[in-house]
Amino acid sequence: MIVVEALTHDERVAVARLRALLELLPTALDRHLTDAGLTSFEFSLLEALFEADHHRLRLTALAARTNATLPRLSRVVTGLEKKGLVGKAACEQDGRATNAVLTDSGERAYLDNRPHFENAVREMILSALDPGGVQRLADISYAILSKLDPDRRLAVTTDGSAEDCDADPRRCAADPAPRRGS
């Protein structure tokens, strides 16, 4: 029989607060994009495509950059395709792969709604933090994500930088290098 020490009260409170945050934040961000007809996850896909060279990414690279499973990403990309915001194109270097491509309408939707999303993030998350809080939040989140993603499948855990997907072995030769400082 394995004896495991019970969680302390403080540990239970910390986990309960994390669960509440994970439950409430996506819905709260979604409310700020309601008028645009987008969810915060759809917005993050448009953002990743907007920042990519030629506004194009292989679906596996897009999944890694948005921290999504490939099945979820595929469903959402199909929905964005129906809205005319994203298209799909075969990867020229690998006929088995599919690229997501930001359309002109998708670019407009992203640019028009970026201020709403950024204001929501500042209002709901960043304004609650003191000057060092952003870095502490990033460090704490990374420490937990590193345990949850030990294979570093998600872009935010490749090396601690959300911008660096160069180490992703699933990148297609047609995938552009990620832009820096965008």
Tell me: pLDDT of 166 over 50: no
User: Per residue in 90-107, pLDDT tens?
Assistant: 877 777 788 999 999 999
Q: What is the gyration radius of the CA atoms in the chain, in angstroms?
A: 18
Q: How far is 142 from 44, CA to CA, in rounded Å?
A: 19
User: Per residue in 10-30, pLDDT tens?
Assistant: 999 999 999 999 999 999 999
Crossing angle of the two packed helices 59-66 and 70-82, in degrees rounded to 10: 110
User: Per residue in 66-90, pLDDT tens?
Assistant: 988 899 999 999 999 999 999 999 8
Q: Domain boundaries in the chain?
A: 9-157
The pLDDT value given to residue 162: 42
What pTM was computed for the model?
Answer: 0.78
The pLDDT value given to residue 150: 85
Domain 9-157, classified CATH 1.10.1040.10, yes or no: no
